[in-house]
Structure 1
Amino acid sequence: MKHELSNMMCLDIYLSSLSAHEYKRIHPELQPVNTQNTGLISWDIISDSYTKKLENLRLACDKEKVKAFARKARWENKLDAIFKNETFEAIIITNLEQKILWVNSGFTTMTGYTKKDALNKTPNFLQGQQTSKETKKNIRKNLNNLKPFTEIVTNYRKDKSTYACEVKIFPMYNALGVTHFLALEKQVGQ
C-alpha cells in the first residue's frame, strides 16, 4: 500500500509538472479503463474523466431539450447534422422577433445571466459600448437573409466584463417557413 501511495504521489507530481501541450499529448494514455474497480490511481485523472462525462451528459440533455422543442414546432431542420460538427457552450432559441424563449445552463455559465434574466429579451441585451456597430449590422442583415451564418461579437457578462463570442445562427423552419432561430455560442480568443 505504501508503495502504491508513493507511485500515485509521483504520478501527480509528474502530471503537475507538464505543460498543457505535453499533458494533452499523453492524456489519452492516462484514462482509467474502469474507474469503479481501479481504486484511487490519481485523483486528477479520475476527476478529469468524471468532469468530461458530466459535461457530455449535460450537452446530450441540452440537445434532447432542443429536439423536444423541434418536435413541438415541427422543425424540418436536421438537428443532428447541426450539432455534429459544432463545439459550443451556450444554446439559445429565439422566436422570429429574436425574443429569447430558451437557453441552456451553458448560457448562464458563459454570461452570468440566469435563464430567467434572459427570457423574453433579445440577445442584444448582452451587447454594449465595445460591441461593434458593423457586427450588429451584419447580424441584422444575416438574420433577415434567413440563412445560417457565423459572427464574432463582443458581448458583456452580467459582471460587465467583455468576452468575444462566436455565434452560429441557424434559421429553424417547418412546412410554413422559418419559425425560430437556434444560436450555438462559445467564447473565443480570451
Structure 2
Amino acid sequence: MNNFKQYEDAIAVYHNGLNVKTAPIFCWDFHNEFLTEVKSFFLDLNKLNSISSKNKWVENNWDLKNSLRDEVIIVTDARLKIVFASHNIVKMNGYVEDEVLGKSPKMFQGEATNHITSNEIRIAILDQQPFEKVVMNYKKNGEVYACLIKGYPVFNSKGELSHYIAFEKAA
C-alpha cells in the first residue's frame, strides 16, 4: 500500500505544479452551431437541387455551394411568389423561410425603398433579364438595411420561364 501512497502523492505534486488554465465548456455551443449550420447548408442545397431537377432548369454557371455560405438565395416562381429562401435569410433580416414562402419579395420593401430602383428591377423582370441593384429593404424588426440583389430569370429545358433566383447580401 505504501507504494500506491507514494505514487498518488507524486501525481498530486505533479498536477498541483502544472500551470493549467481552465475554461468553462462553451465549445459545445460552438459545435452545435456549426452542426446546425452544416445541416442547414445541405438541406438548402438539396431543396435547390430538387426545385431545379423537378422544373428541368437549364444548366447555369451559378456557384450555389459558395452562394449558400455567403449569401441569401431566394427563388420565386414565375408569378414572383417565394418558393425557397435559404437559411441565411434569418441572419440578414430576421425572417425564417416559413414566414416568407408564398409571399412576394416586395414584403421586404417600404418607405425607404427607392421607387426608381424598384421600377428598374420590375422592368428587368418583365423583360426576363438579369439585374444587379442595391435596394433599401426592411428587416422583420422594422430596421432598414441596404441589400445587394443579383437576380436572374431561370428557364426550363423548353426555354420557358420557370422561376427567378436572387442572390442577396447586405451591401
- Per the shorter chain, which TM-score range? 0.7 to 0.9
Q: SS state of the match for residue 5, structure 1? A: coil
1:155 to 137, 155, 169: 137
Q: 1:84 to 1:104 in 2, by over 3 A?
A: closer
Q: 1:116 to 1:60 in 2, by over 3 A?
A: closer
2:169 counterpart of 1:186: yes
Q: SS state of the match for residue 135, structure 1? A: helix
Q: Distance in 1 between matches of 2:119 and 2:35?
A: 39
Q: Which amino acid aligns with 1:151?
A: K
Q: Which amino acid aligns with 2:121?
A: I
Tell me how far 1:123 sits from its aligned partner.
0.3
Deviation string, structure 1 residues 58-107 (Cα, Å, up to 9, x no partner): 3233122101110100111336x342664643221101121111222222
Q: Distance in 2 between matches of 1:186 and 1:160?
A: 17
Q: Distance in 2 between matches of 1:180 and 1:71?
A: 13
Larger Rg: 2
2:74 to 82, 92, 105: 92
Q: Which amino acid aligns with 1:98?
A: L
Partner of 1:37 in structure 2? none
Q: SS state of the match for residue 129, structure 1? A: coil
2:112 counterpart of 1:130: yes
Q: Distance in 2 between matches of 1:88 and 1:143?
A: 24
Q: 1:120 to 1:51 in 2, by over 3 A?
A: closer
Tell me how far 1:52 sits from its aligned partner.
5.5
Tell me how far 1:165 sits from its aligned partner.
0.9
Alignment of 1:11-160 (within 5 A): 51=33, 54-78=36-60, 81-83=62-64, 86=67, 88-160=70-142
Q: Distance in 2 between matches of 1:50 and 1:113?
A: 21
Q: Which amino acid aligns with 2:133?
A: E
Q: 1:83 to 1:115 in 2, by over 3 A?
A: closer
Q: Which amino acid aligns with 2:48?
A: V
Q: Distance in 2 between matches of 1:120 and 1:54?
A: 25
Q: 1:116 to 1:48 in 2, by over 3 A?
A: closer
Gaps of at least 5 residues in structure 1 are: 10-39
Check conservation: 1:77, 1:172, Cα contact below 8 A: no
Partner of 1:164 in structure 2? 146
Gaps of at least 5 residues in structure 2 are: 1-14
